[in-house]
């Protein structure tokens, strides 16, 4: 099975145009990182593999001799094929849930403090997603905007659920 990193790269190059590895990472940090992020450690080997396979090609040298990549026709076909496949579901990972699961042996106040901190982050994320949606509406248009707003909305709803869940847990522990 191929790494999904390749599709994140191909999608960004197809949607937002040619980018260097550094610019790809920065773009991910500003867009997909809330649901899909990549480290430089996985990004650069995948870029090399995609180039070797002919799915992307170096176009020019950027600042500091960085390579600017663009998607090829072969890469576009691969991306299109992947977009039509059903999404594989992945299990979420949550350190908060892992700690909570094993919290029977620690003081409730420690757990409550961690839940309050988690709740505060969730509340911040709700506001962040609202700001992201507003910024997208101001700076983007066309069909892409509709899909980008759908991803932002799910992030907002998940953050709202996390906030409510923390309140319920804190009430239960009182």
Residue-wise pLDDT tens digits, 17-67 = 999 999 999 999 888 888 888 888 899 999 999 999 999 999 877 666 789
Q: Domain ends where: 84, 119, 141? A: 84
State whether 40 and 101 are in the same domain: no
Task: Indicate if the pLDDT at residue 71 is higher than 80.
Answer: yes
Domains: count for the chain: 2
Task: Identify whether 89 is part of a domain.
Answer: no
Task: Indicate if the pLDDT at residue 112 is higher than 90.
Answer: yes
User: For position 78, which CATH number holds?
Assistant: 1.10.10.10
Q: Domain ends where: 84, 114, 137? A: 84
The three state secondary structure string of the chain is CCCCHHHHHHHHHHHHCCEEHHHHHHHHHHCHHHCCCCCHHHHHHHHHHHHHHCCEEEEEECHHHCEEEEECHHHHHHHHHHHHCCCCCCCCCCHHHHHHHCHHHCCHHHHHHHHHHHHHHHHHHHHHHHHHHHHHHHHCCCHHHHHHHHHHHHHHHHHHHHHHHHHHHHHHHC
State whether 101 and 37 are in the same domain: no
Name the pTM for this structure.
Answer: 0.77
Q: Across residues 117-133, what is the average pLDDT?
A: 96
């Amino acid at each position: 099975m191929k790494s999904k990193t390749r599709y994140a790269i191909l999608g960004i190059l197809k949607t937002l145009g040619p980018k260097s590895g550094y610019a790809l990472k920065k773009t991910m940090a500003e867009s997909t990182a809330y649901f899909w992020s990549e480290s430089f450690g996985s990004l650069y080997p995948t870029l090399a593999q995609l180039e070797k396979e002919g799915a992307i090609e170096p176009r020019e040298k950027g600042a500091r001799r960085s390579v600017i990549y663009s998607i090829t026709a072969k890469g576009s076909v691969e991306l299109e094929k992947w977009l039509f496949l059903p999404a594989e579901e992945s299990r979420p990972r949550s350190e908060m849930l892992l700690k909570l699961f094993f919290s029977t042996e620690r003081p409730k106040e420690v757990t409550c403090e961690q839940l309050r901190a988690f709740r505060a982050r969730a509340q911040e994320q709700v506001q962040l997603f609202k700001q992201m949606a507003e910024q997208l509406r101001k700076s983007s248009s066309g069909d892409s905007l509709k899909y980008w707003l759908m991803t932002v909305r799910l992030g907002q709803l998940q953050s709202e659920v996390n906030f409510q869940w923390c309140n319920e847990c804190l009430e239960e522990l009182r």
